[in-house]
Amino acid sequence: MSFTHRFESTSLREYDIRGIVGKTLSTDDAFAIGRTFGSLVRRNGGKTLVVGYDGRLSSPSLEKALVQGAVACGLNVVRVGRGPTPLLYYGSVSLKADGAVMVTGSHNPPDHNGFKITLAGKPFFGAQIRELGDLAARGDVVPEEKGTVRDVDIREEYVERLVKDYVGGQRKLKVVWDNGNSSAGEVLEMLVKKLPGEHIVLNAKIDGTFPVHHPDPTVAKNLEQLIASVREHKADLGIAFDGDADRIGVVDNTGGILWGDQLLILLARDVLKSHSGATIIADAKASQVLFDEVAEAGGKPLMWRTGHSLIKSKMAETGSPLAGEMSGHIFFADKWYGFDDALYAGVRVLDIVARMDAPLSAFREALPKTVSTPELRFECDDHRKFKVIEEVAARLRKEGADVSEIDGVRVNTPDGWWLLRASNTQAVLVARAEGRTEACLERLKEALVQQFELSGLPRPDFSGASSGH
Protein backbone atom coordinates (compact mmCIF):
# COMPACT_ATOMS: atom_id res chain seq x y z
CA MET A 1 0.00 0.00 0.00
CA SER A 2 1.55 3.29 -1.11
CA PHE A 3 1.75 6.10 1.41
CA THR A 4 2.04 9.86 0.99
CA HIS A 5 0.85 12.65 3.27
CA ARG A 6 0.99 16.43 3.32
CA PHE A 7 0.99 18.21 6.67
CA GLU A 8 -0.55 21.65 7.13
CA SER A 9 2.61 23.79 6.87
CA THR A 10 1.84 25.74 10.05
CA SER A 11 1.83 22.52 12.11
CA LEU A 12 5.53 21.77 11.51
CA ARG A 13 7.08 23.98 14.20
CA GLU A 14 10.65 24.51 15.33
CA TYR A 15 10.50 22.30 18.45
CA ASP A 16 7.46 20.10 17.84
CA ILE A 17 4.48 19.39 15.59
CA ARG A 18 1.42 21.28 16.73
CA GLY A 19 -1.96 22.42 15.46
CA ILE A 20 -5.68 22.95 16.05
CA VAL A 21 -7.54 19.65 16.15
CA GLY A 22 -9.99 19.30 13.27
CA LYS A 23 -8.48 22.29 11.47
CA THR A 24 -4.69 21.97 11.10
CA LEU A 25 -4.20 18.64 12.92
CA SER A 26 -5.96 15.30 12.49
CA THR A 27 -5.64 11.56 13.14
CA ASP A 28 -4.34 11.27 9.56
CA ASP A 29 -1.45 13.52 10.60
CA ALA A 30 -0.87 11.35 13.67
CA PHE A 31 -0.74 8.19 11.53
CA ALA A 32 1.67 9.93 9.14
CA ILE A 33 3.96 10.91 12.01
CA GLY A 34 4.01 7.31 13.22
CA ARG A 35 4.65 6.01 9.69
CA THR A 36 7.32 8.60 8.78
CA PHE A 37 9.11 9.04 12.11
CA GLY A 38 8.91 5.27 12.56
CA SER A 39 10.75 4.91 9.25
CA LEU A 40 13.47 7.29 10.50
CA VAL A 41 13.84 5.19 13.66
CA ARG A 42 14.20 2.03 11.54
CA ARG A 43 16.71 3.66 9.18
CA ASN A 44 18.65 4.81 12.23
CA GLY A 45 19.02 1.13 13.22
CA GLY A 46 16.28 1.32 15.86
CA LYS A 47 13.47 -1.06 16.69
CA THR A 48 11.69 0.30 19.81
CA LEU A 49 9.40 3.34 20.07
CA VAL A 50 7.85 4.57 23.34
CA VAL A 51 4.58 6.51 23.09
CA GLY A 52 2.61 8.48 25.68
CA TYR A 53 -0.24 11.02 25.71
CA ASP A 54 -1.58 13.85 27.85
CA GLY A 55 -5.05 14.58 29.24
CA ARG A 56 -6.53 16.45 26.29
CA LEU A 57 -9.81 15.17 24.89
CA SER A 58 -8.26 14.58 21.46
CA SER A 59 -5.12 12.82 22.74
CA PRO A 60 -6.37 9.17 22.92
CA SER A 61 -7.48 9.13 19.25
CA LEU A 62 -4.28 10.83 18.08
CA GLU A 63 -2.17 8.38 20.11
CA LYS A 64 -4.05 5.40 18.63
CA ALA A 65 -3.42 6.60 15.06
CA LEU A 66 0.23 7.36 15.85
CA VAL A 67 0.74 3.82 17.17
CA GLN A 68 -0.89 2.33 14.06
CA GLY A 69 1.52 4.26 11.84
CA ALA A 70 4.55 3.18 13.88
CA VAL A 71 3.46 -0.48 13.94
CA ALA A 72 3.20 -0.36 10.13
CA CYS A 73 6.97 0.31 10.11
CA GLY A 74 7.68 -2.95 11.92
CA LEU A 75 8.51 -1.19 15.19
CA ASN A 76 8.02 -2.62 18.67
CA VAL A 77 5.82 0.06 20.21
CA VAL A 78 5.65 0.45 24.00
CA ARG A 79 2.65 2.46 25.20
CA VAL A 80 3.19 4.09 28.61
CA GLY A 81 -0.33 5.56 28.58
CA ARG A 82 -1.66 8.85 29.88
CA GLY A 83 0.67 10.97 31.99
CA PRO A 84 3.05 13.92 32.00
CA THR A 85 5.59 14.41 29.21
CA PRO A 86 8.51 13.71 31.62
CA LEU A 87 7.05 10.23 32.26
CA LEU A 88 7.46 9.54 28.53
CA TYR A 89 11.01 10.92 28.60
CA TYR A 90 11.81 8.73 31.61
CA GLY A 91 10.31 5.71 29.82
CA SER A 92 12.53 6.41 26.85
CA VAL A 93 15.59 6.23 29.14
CA SER A 94 14.55 3.30 31.35
CA LEU A 95 13.28 1.17 28.46
CA LYS A 96 16.33 2.05 26.32
CA ALA A 97 14.05 3.13 23.48
CA ASP A 98 15.32 4.14 20.04
CA GLY A 99 12.67 6.85 19.74
CA ALA A 100 9.86 8.44 21.74
CA VAL A 101 6.76 10.45 20.87
CA MET A 102 4.49 12.31 23.31
CA VAL A 103 1.04 13.40 22.19
CA THR A 104 0.59 16.72 23.99
CA GLY A 105 -0.73 20.22 23.50
CA SER A 106 1.42 21.42 26.41
CA HIS A 107 0.02 24.73 27.75
CA ASN A 108 -1.94 25.65 24.61
CA PRO A 109 -5.75 26.08 24.49
CA PRO A 110 -7.90 22.92 24.85
CA ASP A 111 -8.59 22.56 21.10
CA HIS A 112 -4.84 22.44 20.30
CA ASN A 113 -2.67 19.34 20.36
CA GLY A 114 0.70 18.19 19.11
CA PHE A 115 3.70 15.86 19.29
CA LYS A 116 7.03 16.15 21.11
CA ILE A 117 9.63 13.79 19.66
CA THR A 118 13.05 12.37 20.58
CA LEU A 119 15.31 10.19 18.41
CA ALA A 120 18.07 8.07 19.97
CA GLY A 121 17.71 9.99 23.24
CA LYS A 122 18.14 13.42 21.63
CA PRO A 123 15.63 16.16 20.82
CA PHE A 124 14.11 15.88 17.35
CA PHE A 125 13.58 19.43 16.10
CA GLY A 126 14.26 22.15 13.51
CA ALA A 127 15.55 20.72 10.24
CA GLN A 128 14.60 17.18 11.36
CA ILE A 129 10.93 18.14 11.65
CA ARG A 130 11.05 19.80 8.20
CA GLU A 131 12.67 16.64 6.80
CA LEU A 132 9.88 14.53 8.31
CA GLY A 133 7.37 16.68 6.39
CA ASP A 134 9.32 16.24 3.15
CA LEU A 135 9.59 12.43 3.59
CA ALA A 136 5.83 12.16 4.19
CA ALA A 137 5.03 14.27 1.11
CA ARG A 138 7.26 12.03 -1.05
CA GLY A 139 6.09 8.81 0.58
CA ASP A 140 9.72 8.01 1.38
CA VAL A 141 9.12 5.44 4.12
CA VAL A 142 10.31 1.91 4.90
CA PRO A 143 8.28 -0.95 3.37
CA GLU A 144 5.22 -1.92 5.38
CA GLU A 145 5.91 -4.59 8.00
CA LYS A 146 3.80 -5.59 11.01
CA GLY A 147 5.33 -4.56 14.34
CA THR A 148 4.19 -5.22 17.91
CA VAL A 149 2.42 -3.24 20.63
CA ARG A 150 2.53 -3.66 24.39
CA ASP A 151 1.24 -1.54 27.28
CA VAL A 152 3.62 -0.87 30.18
CA ASP A 153 2.75 1.02 33.38
CA ILE A 154 5.99 2.70 34.53
CA ARG A 155 4.39 5.25 36.85
CA GLU A 156 5.39 3.50 40.08
CA GLU A 157 8.99 3.07 38.88
CA TYR A 158 9.10 6.73 37.78
CA VAL A 159 7.79 8.00 41.13
CA GLU A 160 10.33 5.85 43.01
CA ARG A 161 13.09 7.41 40.92
CA LEU A 162 11.73 10.93 41.56
CA VAL A 163 11.87 10.56 45.35
CA LYS A 164 15.31 8.94 45.31
CA ASP A 165 16.99 12.35 45.07
CA TYR A 166 15.05 13.83 47.99
CA VAL A 167 17.42 13.93 50.97
CA GLY A 168 15.76 16.73 52.91
CA GLY A 169 16.63 18.20 56.28
CA GLN A 170 15.10 18.80 59.67
CA ARG A 171 12.14 20.79 58.38
CA LYS A 172 8.88 19.02 57.65
CA LEU A 173 7.34 21.09 54.90
CA LYS A 174 3.77 22.04 54.15
CA VAL A 175 3.42 22.25 50.37
CA VAL A 176 0.56 23.26 48.08
CA TRP A 177 0.70 21.78 44.57
CA ASP A 178 -1.47 23.12 41.74
CA ASN A 179 -1.74 20.37 39.17
CA GLY A 180 -3.82 22.74 37.00
CA ASN A 181 -5.82 19.71 35.76
CA SER A 182 -2.63 18.72 33.93
CA SER A 183 -1.65 15.23 32.81
CA ALA A 184 0.56 14.87 35.92
CA GLY A 185 -2.57 14.29 38.06
CA GLU A 186 -2.30 10.60 39.01
CA VAL A 187 1.51 10.61 39.10
CA LEU A 188 1.48 13.68 41.37
CA GLU A 189 -0.96 11.97 43.78
CA MET A 190 1.40 8.98 43.93
CA LEU A 191 4.41 11.26 44.47
CA VAL A 192 3.06 13.27 47.40
CA LYS A 193 2.24 10.05 49.29
CA LYS A 194 5.94 9.15 49.21
CA LEU A 195 7.29 12.56 50.24
CA PRO A 196 7.58 13.64 53.90
CA GLY A 197 5.57 16.59 55.20
CA GLU A 198 2.02 17.77 54.48
CA HIS A 199 0.81 18.11 50.90
CA ILE A 200 -2.30 19.82 49.55
CA VAL A 201 -3.08 19.15 45.86
CA LEU A 202 -5.30 21.55 43.91
CA ASN A 203 -7.01 20.65 40.61
CA ALA A 204 -5.69 17.10 40.84
CA LYS A 205 -8.11 15.62 38.32
CA ILE A 206 -6.78 15.36 34.77
CA ASP A 207 -9.16 17.43 32.64
CA GLY A 208 -8.25 18.52 29.12
CA THR A 209 -10.79 21.38 29.21
CA PHE A 210 -8.78 23.05 32.05
CA PRO A 211 -11.93 24.29 33.81
CA VAL A 212 -10.30 26.32 36.62
CA HIS A 213 -7.50 28.24 34.91
CA HIS A 214 -5.17 28.04 31.93
CA PRO A 215 -2.23 25.65 32.58
CA ASP A 216 0.68 28.07 32.15
CA PRO A 217 2.58 28.85 35.37
CA THR A 218 4.59 31.71 33.82
CA VAL A 219 1.47 33.91 33.81
CA ALA A 220 0.83 35.49 37.23
CA LYS A 221 -2.98 35.31 36.80
CA ASN A 222 -2.76 31.50 36.57
CA LEU A 223 -1.02 31.38 39.97
CA GLU A 224 -3.69 33.32 41.88
CA GLN A 225 -5.42 30.20 43.22
CA LEU A 226 -2.09 28.69 44.31
CA ILE A 227 -1.02 31.92 46.03
CA ALA A 228 -4.33 32.17 47.91
CA SER A 229 -4.05 28.54 49.03
CA VAL A 230 -0.42 28.94 50.21
CA ARG A 231 -1.48 31.91 52.33
CA GLU A 232 -4.61 30.19 53.63
CA HIS A 233 -2.73 27.05 54.72
CA LYS A 234 0.36 29.00 55.86
CA ALA A 235 2.39 26.68 53.62
CA ASP A 236 6.15 26.80 53.10
CA LEU A 237 5.78 27.04 49.31
CA GLY A 238 3.56 26.30 46.34
CA ILE A 239 4.36 24.50 43.08
CA ALA A 240 2.43 24.67 39.79
CA PHE A 241 2.70 22.83 36.46
CA ASP A 242 1.86 23.56 32.85
CA GLY A 243 -0.46 21.27 30.85
CA ASP A 244 2.02 18.41 30.41
CA ALA A 245 4.16 19.07 33.52
CA ASP A 246 7.48 19.77 31.86
CA ARG A 247 7.42 23.39 33.12
CA ILE A 248 7.27 24.55 36.73
CA GLY A 249 6.07 27.61 38.61
CA VAL A 250 7.00 28.28 42.26
CA VAL A 251 5.66 30.67 44.91
CA ASP A 252 7.22 31.20 48.32
CA ASN A 253 5.64 31.13 51.79
CA THR A 254 4.28 34.68 51.40
CA GLY A 255 2.80 33.96 47.96
CA GLY A 256 5.62 35.82 46.21
CA ILE A 257 6.41 34.39 42.76
CA LEU A 258 9.87 33.00 42.01
CA TRP A 259 10.31 33.56 38.29
CA GLY A 260 12.25 31.05 36.19
CA ASP A 261 15.60 32.82 36.52
CA GLN A 262 15.21 33.32 40.30
CA LEU A 263 14.39 29.63 40.71
CA LEU A 264 17.49 28.77 38.71
CA ILE A 265 19.64 30.80 41.13
CA LEU A 266 18.27 28.74 44.04
CA LEU A 267 18.98 25.48 42.23
CA ALA A 268 22.37 26.58 40.85
CA ARG A 269 23.74 27.48 44.27
CA ASP A 270 22.87 23.98 45.46
CA VAL A 271 24.21 22.11 42.40
CA LEU A 272 27.45 24.11 42.41
CA LYS A 273 28.24 22.91 45.96
CA SER A 274 29.03 19.51 44.44
CA HIS A 275 29.91 20.66 40.89
CA SER A 276 32.23 23.60 41.50
CA GLY A 277 33.13 25.51 38.33
CA ALA A 278 30.38 23.84 36.28
CA THR A 279 28.61 25.54 33.37
CA ILE A 280 25.06 26.66 34.21
CA ILE A 281 22.96 27.53 31.15
CA ALA A 282 20.05 29.97 30.93
CA ASP A 283 18.22 31.50 27.99
CA ALA A 284 18.74 35.05 26.71
CA LYS A 285 15.55 36.28 28.42
CA ALA A 286 16.97 35.67 31.91
CA SER A 287 17.94 38.45 34.32
CA GLN A 288 21.54 39.65 34.48
CA VAL A 289 21.18 38.95 38.21
CA LEU A 290 21.11 35.21 37.41
CA PHE A 291 24.34 35.27 35.42
CA ASP A 292 26.04 37.36 38.11
CA GLU A 293 24.81 35.09 40.93
CA VAL A 294 25.97 31.91 39.13
CA ALA A 295 29.45 33.42 38.77
CA GLU A 296 29.36 34.50 42.43
CA ALA A 297 28.53 30.90 43.44
CA GLY A 298 31.56 29.58 41.54
CA GLY A 299 29.84 28.54 38.33
CA LYS A 300 30.36 29.46 34.68
CA PRO A 301 27.19 31.20 33.46
CA LEU A 302 26.35 30.56 29.80
CA MET A 303 23.65 32.50 27.97
CA TRP A 304 22.00 30.46 25.22
CA ARG A 305 19.09 30.50 22.80
CA THR A 306 15.51 30.08 24.02
CA GLY A 307 13.92 26.69 23.26
CA HIS A 308 13.94 23.45 25.26
CA SER A 309 15.45 21.44 22.39
CA LEU A 310 18.26 23.97 21.93
CA ILE A 311 19.03 24.09 25.66
CA LYS A 312 19.12 20.27 25.94
CA SER A 313 21.51 20.06 23.00
CA LYS A 314 23.81 22.72 24.51
CA MET A 315 23.81 20.90 27.87
CA ALA A 316 24.96 17.70 26.21
CA GLU A 317 27.66 19.60 24.33
CA THR A 318 29.05 21.44 27.39
CA GLY A 319 28.49 18.78 30.07
CA SER A 320 26.37 21.25 32.04
CA PRO A 321 24.69 19.75 35.15
CA LEU A 322 21.87 22.34 35.24
CA ALA A 323 20.03 24.64 32.85
CA GLY A 324 16.80 26.58 32.80
CA GLU A 325 14.57 28.97 30.94
CA MET A 326 12.35 31.88 31.98
CA SER A 327 9.45 29.74 30.76
CA GLY A 328 9.95 27.29 33.65
CA HIS A 329 11.71 24.49 31.76
CA ILE A 330 14.35 23.22 34.24
CA PHE A 331 16.91 20.63 33.15
CA PHE A 332 19.01 18.58 35.60
CA ALA A 333 21.89 16.40 34.43
CA ASP A 334 23.78 16.07 37.73
CA LYS A 335 21.76 13.12 39.07
CA TRP A 336 18.92 13.19 36.53
CA TYR A 337 18.86 12.58 32.76
CA GLY A 338 19.08 16.05 31.23
CA PHE A 339 15.40 16.41 30.25
CA ASP A 340 12.92 19.01 31.52
CA ASP A 341 10.74 17.63 34.29
CA ALA A 342 8.60 19.84 36.55
CA LEU A 343 7.89 16.98 38.99
CA TYR A 344 11.60 16.30 39.45
CA ALA A 345 12.39 20.02 39.68
CA GLY A 346 9.69 20.26 42.36
CA VAL A 347 11.32 17.46 44.38
CA ARG A 348 14.71 19.19 44.15
CA VAL A 349 13.21 22.51 45.28
CA LEU A 350 11.58 20.82 48.30
CA ASP A 351 14.88 19.14 49.12
CA ILE A 352 16.62 22.55 49.22
CA VAL A 353 13.87 24.32 51.20
CA ALA A 354 13.79 21.49 53.77
CA ARG A 355 17.49 22.14 54.43
CA MET A 356 17.19 25.95 54.65
CA ASP A 357 17.34 27.76 58.00
CA ALA A 358 15.13 30.58 56.76
CA PRO A 359 11.86 30.61 54.77
CA LEU A 360 11.96 30.63 50.96
CA SER A 361 10.81 34.27 50.96
CA ALA A 362 14.10 35.24 52.66
CA PHE A 363 16.00 33.86 49.65
CA ARG A 364 13.82 35.77 47.18
CA GLU A 365 13.94 39.03 49.13
CA ALA A 366 17.76 38.89 49.46
CA LEU A 367 18.28 38.84 45.67
CA PRO A 368 19.47 42.11 44.07
CA LYS A 369 16.47 44.22 43.07
CA THR A 370 15.84 45.23 39.48
CA VAL A 371 12.85 46.60 37.58
CA SER A 372 11.88 44.68 34.46
CA THR A 373 9.18 44.22 31.88
CA PRO A 374 7.50 40.84 31.53
CA GLU A 375 8.02 39.03 28.24
CA LEU A 376 6.26 41.24 25.69
CA ARG A 377 5.00 39.97 22.33
CA PHE A 378 4.31 42.09 19.26
CA GLU A 379 2.74 40.72 16.07
CA CYS A 380 5.11 40.60 13.12
CA ASP A 381 4.88 38.64 9.86
CA ASP A 382 6.75 35.30 9.95
CA HIS A 383 9.10 36.35 7.12
CA ARG A 384 9.55 39.94 8.30
CA LYS A 385 10.38 39.11 11.95
CA PHE A 386 13.84 37.65 11.18
CA LYS A 387 14.67 40.53 8.81
CA VAL A 388 13.82 43.01 11.58
CA ILE A 389 16.34 41.35 13.90
CA GLU A 390 19.01 41.52 11.15
CA GLU A 391 18.30 45.25 10.65
CA VAL A 392 18.45 46.01 14.38
CA ALA A 393 21.69 44.01 14.79
CA ALA A 394 23.32 45.85 11.85
CA ARG A 395 22.41 49.25 13.32
CA LEU A 396 23.70 48.29 16.78
CA ARG A 397 26.99 46.98 15.38
CA LYS A 398 27.43 50.24 13.48
CA GLU A 399 26.88 52.18 16.71
CA GLY A 400 29.45 50.02 18.52
CA ALA A 401 26.85 48.89 21.09
CA ASP A 402 27.60 46.16 23.65
CA VAL A 403 25.41 43.50 22.03
CA SER A 404 25.02 39.72 22.19
CA GLU A 405 23.53 38.04 19.10
CA ILE A 406 23.18 34.54 20.59
CA ASP A 407 19.37 34.78 20.34
CA GLY A 408 18.12 37.89 18.61
CA VAL A 409 19.84 40.97 20.05
CA ARG A 410 20.49 41.56 23.74
CA VAL A 411 21.99 44.98 24.43
CA ASN A 412 23.84 45.90 27.62
CA THR A 413 23.91 49.56 28.70
CA PRO A 414 24.78 51.32 31.98
CA ASP A 415 21.00 51.34 32.67
CA GLY A 416 20.63 47.54 32.33
CA TRP A 417 19.71 45.54 29.21
CA TRP A 418 17.05 45.04 26.59
CA LEU A 419 16.30 42.08 24.31
CA LEU A 420 14.53 41.72 20.98
CA ARG A 421 14.20 38.31 19.34
CA ALA A 422 12.02 36.60 16.75
CA SER A 423 9.82 33.84 18.17
CA ASN A 424 10.56 30.43 16.66
CA THR A 425 6.97 29.29 17.17
CA GLN A 426 4.75 32.32 16.44
CA ALA A 427 4.53 35.32 14.10
CA VAL A 428 5.73 37.67 16.82
CA LEU A 429 8.74 39.64 18.02
CA VAL A 430 9.56 39.08 21.69
CA ALA A 431 10.92 41.97 23.77
CA ARG A 432 12.13 42.26 27.34
CA ALA A 433 14.05 44.89 29.32
CA GLU A 434 15.55 45.05 32.80
CA GLY A 435 16.75 48.26 34.45
CA ARG A 436 18.46 49.15 37.69
CA THR A 437 15.68 51.67 38.48
CA GLU A 438 12.33 52.74 36.99
CA ALA A 439 14.09 55.66 35.25
CA CYS A 440 16.66 53.25 33.78
CA LEU A 441 13.88 50.98 32.53
CA GLU A 442 12.10 53.89 30.85
CA ARG A 443 15.28 54.72 28.88
CA LEU A 444 15.70 51.06 27.87
CA LYS A 445 12.10 50.89 26.68
CA GLU A 446 12.63 54.09 24.67
CA ALA A 447 15.68 52.50 23.00
CA LEU A 448 13.49 49.55 22.00
CA VAL A 449 10.77 51.85 20.67
CA GLN A 450 13.38 53.65 18.55
CA GLN A 451 14.47 50.34 16.95
CA PHE A 452 10.83 49.47 16.11
CA GLU A 453 10.35 52.83 14.43
CA LEU A 454 13.64 52.64 12.49
CA SER A 455 12.46 49.31 11.04
CA GLY A 456 9.10 50.83 10.06
CA LEU A 457 7.08 48.90 12.67
CA PRO A 458 4.19 50.33 14.72
CA ARG A 459 5.30 51.95 17.97
CA PRO A 460 5.06 49.20 20.66
CA ASP A 461 2.86 49.82 23.69
CA PHE A 462 4.86 49.38 26.88
CA SER A 463 2.31 51.05 29.16
CA GLY A 464 2.21 49.36 32.54
CA ALA A 465 4.95 46.92 31.50
CA SER A 466 7.22 46.90 34.52
CA SER A 467 7.54 44.97 37.74
CA GLY A 468 10.09 44.43 40.48
CA HIS A 469 12.17 41.33 39.99
Q: Which fold has domain 9-153?
A: Alpha-D-Glucose-1,6-Bisphosphate; Chain A, domain 3 (3.40.120)
pLDDT band at 460 (very low <50, low <70, confident <90, very high): confident
Class of domain 371-468 as given by CATH = alpha beta
CATH of domain 157-366: 3.40.120.10
Report helix, strand or coil for 19: strand
At residue 402, does pLDDT exceed 70? yes
d(CA 117, CA 123): 7
In this prediction, residues 347-357 reach a mean pLDDT of 97
Cα(453)–Cα(460) distance, integer angstroms: 9
Q: pTM to 2 decimals?
A: 0.95
DSSP 137-198: HHT--PPPB--EEEE---HHHHHHHHHHT----S---EEEEE-TT-TTHHHHHHHHHHSSSE
H or E stretch including 54?
Answer: none
pLDDT tens digit sequence for 190-207: 999 999 999 999 999 999
| Cβ pair 201, 192 in contact under 8 A | yes
Contacting residues for 422 by C-beta, under 8 A, at least 6 apart: 380, 385, 386, 388, 389, 408, 428, 429, 430
| Mean per-residue pLDDT, 427-444 | 95
Average pLDDT, stretch 411-423? 96
Reported as a pLDDT band with limits 50, 70 and 90, residue 461 is confident
* CA 364 – CA 328 distance, rounded (Å): 16
- Please give the pLDDT value at position 412: 96
**Count of CB atoms situated within 10 Å of the CB of 295:** 12
Count of helices and strands (H, E) across the chain = 14, 23
Strand partners, 119: 99, 122
CA atoms lying within 13 Å on the CB side of residue 366: 9
Closest of 321, 343, 322, 330 to residue 163, by C-alpha: 343
pLDDT at 469 over 70: no
Q: Is 137 exposed, middle or buried (0-12, 13-18, 19+ CB in 10 A)?
A: middle
Contact 138, 39 (CB under 8 A): no
- Mean pLDDT within 106-128: 95
Q: What is the pLDDT of residue 427?
A: 86
pLDDT digits (tens, 9 = 90+) for 42-101: 999 999 999 999 999 999 999 999 999 999 999 999 999 999 999 999 999 999 999 999
% helix / strand / coil in the chain, to the nearest 5?
A: 40, 25, 40
Looking at the predicted structure, is the pLDDT value of residue 426 above 90? no
pLDDT band at 374 (very low <50, low <70, confident <90, very high): confident
In this predicted structure, the answer to whether residue 456 has a pLDDT above a threshold of 80 is yes
How many angstroms separate the CA atoms of 111 and 441, rounded?
38
Element (H, E) at 356: none
With a cut of 70, say whether residue 243 has pLDDT above it.
yes
pLDDT mean over 373-399: 93
Average model confidence (pLDDT) for the chain?
Answer: 95
Query: Rounded to whole angstroms, how far apart are CA atoms 284 and 389?
Result: 14
Predicted pLDDT of residue 14: 87
First-to-last alpha carbon distance for the chain, in angstroms, is 59
Please say if the pLDDT value at position 434 is more than 80: yes
Please give the positions annotated as active site: 106
Mean pLDDT on 34-38? 98
**% of residues, the chain, pLDDT over 90:** 91
State the Cα–Cα distance between residues 72 and 32, nearest whole angstrom: 10
Q: Is the CB of residue 58 less than 8 Å from the CB of residue 92?
A: no
For residues 196 and 172, the answer to whether their CB atoms sit within 8 Å is: yes
Mean pLDDT of 24-28: 97
User: C-alpha angle 277/328/165, rounded to 5°?
Assistant: 60
Strand partners of residue 202 = 178
Q: Domain coordinates of the chain in residue numbers?
A: 9-153, 157-366, 371-468
Distance CA 434, CA 443 (A): 10
The CA-based dihedral angle spanning residues 264, 266, 270, 273, taken in that order and rounded to the nearest 10 degrees: 90
What confidence score (pLDDT) does residue 317 get?
Answer: 96
Whether the predicted pLDDT of 463 surpasses 90? no
Domains 9-153 and 157-366 alike in fold: yes
Find the mean pLDDT for residues 405-414: 96
Give the per-residue pLDDT at 464: 57
